[in-house]
Amino acid sequence: MIIVRELAKGFAVPDLKRRPGLSGQDPRMGNGVFHSVRSVSFQARPGEVLGLLGPNGAGKTTVLRMLSGVLSPDQGIIEINGRNWDRQPEKMRQQIGFLSASTALYERLTVEENLEFFGQLYGLNRDMIRDRIAELSQQLELEPFLQRKVLELSLGMKQRASIARAVIHKPEVVVLDEPTTGLDIMSAQAVLDFIHSQKMANRPVIFSTHRLEEVSLLCDRIAVIMYGCSVFEGELATFAGTRYPDALRQAFVACQHEASRHPQGLSGMAG
Ligand SMILES: Nc1ncnc2c1ncn2[C@@H]1O[C@H](COP(=O)(O)OP(=O)(O)OP(=O)(O)O)[C@@H](O)[C@H]1O
């Protein structure tokens, strides 16, 4: 189980007024600091899939980077299976499998060589790496291109190989930042099937997406983030009823309108 409570993260930014893409009413601008994430909370139990939703720039990637140990939070708690890891980024990396747009593979190595390399980095022995590659090859349909160099792969193949890299160490929690963005239908489906397989294996999965069909297909819970605050956290059905994905779209748009009306005073709504 992963519990995230009141995470916050700000970045020192010398000239906030000149930052592109920020609306004049964005309450996150401070004195030389942009408070990218102000207060985000959610949880996912074993076998639950949690969708992280929010408009561009809401703070989703920043939250996920804190979960992965890439960024340390200014405030808040990240607890995995009863232990608080947020001040131990090295240990956190062992607990979490994190995929983001910057999860890189060595282009001149084959997929299998990449997985062996990253498996060794995580301290897995030869047998463990072999078993894990076999398991992930099946889950992510990697067999046809395991022996191919990464530079020869399509975007969809690369993404599946990157996911395998991210979870080679069999983490407790899987965290995926927009895992299907830019993928064709078959590759996106392979990624969604993988998320489902993690759910079946009783592992919590947290993923961010702008695709509401994916949310309605896969998610048990959602966390909606606006201006760096979670404005809803709870079961999908509580947020949007059961008529997906139309009702979900309507609920999300209504939530965004409401948040834009008083962005300073956002407070969470638990479901
Ligand atoms: N290192 C940083 N320094 C300054 N500002 C940052 C930094 N990282 C993120 N931000 C800002 O924090 C805000 C939230 O960014 P983030 O990438 O977390 O949003 P997001 O919800 O993932 O957006 P998208 O859906 O477009 O991917 C943005 O305004 C972004 O420019």
Pocket of ligand 1 (CB under 6 A): 11, 13, 34, 36, 54, 56-62
Å from CA of 63 to ligand 1 middle: 9
pLDDT tens per residue across span 165-200: 999 999 999 999 999 999 999 899 999 999 999 999
Give the nearest ligand 1 atom to 178 CA. Answer: 27
CA dihedral 141, 146, 150, 155 (to 10 degrees): -10
Task: Report how far Cα 183 is from the mean position of its chain's Cα atoms.
Answer: 16
pLDDT tens per residue across span 252-269: 888 888 888 877 777 655
pLDDT of residue 19: 64
Q: Whose CA is nearest to atom 8 of ligand 1?
A: 62
pLDDT of residue 88: 75
Task: Report how far Cα 4 is from the mean position of its chain's Cα atoms.
Answer: 13
Terminus-to-terminus CA distance in the chain, angstroms?
18
pLDDT of residue 203: 95
Query: Which domains, and CATH codes, for the chain?
Result: 2-219 (3.40.50.300)
Å from CA of 259 to ligand 1 middle: 18
pLDDT of residue 268: 55
Prediction pTM value: 0.91
Q: ipTM > 0.85? A: yes
Question: Mean pLDDT per 10-residue run, the chain (271 residues)?
Answer: 95 72 71 90 96 94 93 92 78 89 94 98 96 95 96 95 97 96 92 95 96 92 94 89 72 84 68 55
pLDDT of residue 239: 85
Contact 81, 25 (CB under 8 A): no
pLDDT of residue 119: 97
